[in-house]
Amino acid sequence: MSLEITVVSAKDLKDVNLFTTMDVYAVVSIVSMIREHGTAQRTPVDKDCGSSPEWNYSMKFNIEEALAQPNGFYLYFRLKSDRRLLGDKEIGDVMVPIKELLDHNNGNEKVKSYDVKTPFGWGKGKLEKKGILNFSYKFGEKFENPVPQPTGTYKFGDLFEKPVPQLRRTYKFREEKFEKLVPQPRVPAAGPAMNKDKHRKKKKSSSESDCICCFEFNFDSD
């Protein structure tokens, strides 16, 4: 199903700039405890707004209701101060369980307000309040088809049912490499080489015969 969000405004934000008035924007995404899901979206920068920015900026996300029901997915807001010279500075963040929004869903648009807490402080003890964020939300129509799995990933069961293509190519490469390393048996010399040896033996026996004849001739003359 689709989730339509309108980031309305914030107030009483902690000023993280030392000398200039804050220019504030918000980054919104769908996250779980493991990773971010989909592409993050951001509001325009509200110039010279200080601690009370206003955006009234709408955005839409696609979520799978079956995955959001176990209370493992969150609507994540990050408020930042836009600073060109020193780099953007975190002001605070808001994490809203998607299940909480689904439980109060009646098809109409609802306005919610949540405390802005210390950035990246979730699960690390007491959080410092740094203002209030106001937004509205509305769920759209449900999708008939399930959300497709991201490209290049495997379901848990696929690890046992399907071989990983990369491993198969690596194994084949090793086989080819092994075959090249095995020395090939040498083939005996061809026929002409053997005939040459016979010719040498024959020539040698002929020379020995000549020597014997010469010896016998000298013996008879004496």
Nearest to 105 by CA among 73, 69, 143, 130: 69
The mean pLDDT of the chain is 73
2-139 CATH pick, 1.10.40.30, 2.60.40.150, 2.40.128.20, 3.90.950.20:
2.60.40.150
Token code pair at residue 197: 């040896």
**CB-based contact 112:97 (threshold 8 Å):** no
Is residue 213's pLDDT more than 90? no
The residue type of 50 is G
Token pair for 70? 């176990």
- Please tell me the number of Cα atoms within 13 Å of 78 on its side-chain side: 18
d(CA 93, CA 133): 9
Q: Which CB contacts under 8 angstroms, 24+ apart, belong to 104-108?
A: 105/139, 107/138, 107/139, 108/138
Cα separation, 138 vs 127, in Å, equals 28
In the chain, where are the structural domains located? 2-139
Question: Identity (one letter) of the amino acid at 90?
Answer: E
Ranked by mean pLDDT, the top range of 36-40, 84-88, 155-159 is 84-88
Give pLDDT, residue 136: 97
The tens digit of pLDDT for each residue in 166-209 reads 444 444 444 444 445 455 566 565 555 445 554 454 444 444 44
**C-alpha pair distances (Å), 160 with each of 152, 156, 157:** 16, 8, 6
Query: What pLDDT was estimated at residue 188?
Result: 60
Model confidence pTM above 0.85: no
Work out the average pLDDT over 87-114.
Answer: 90
Rg of the chain on CA atoms, in Å:
42
Burial of 157 (0-12, 13-18, 19+ CB in 10 A): exposed
pLDDT for residue 124: 54
Contact 135, 77 (CB under 8 A): yes
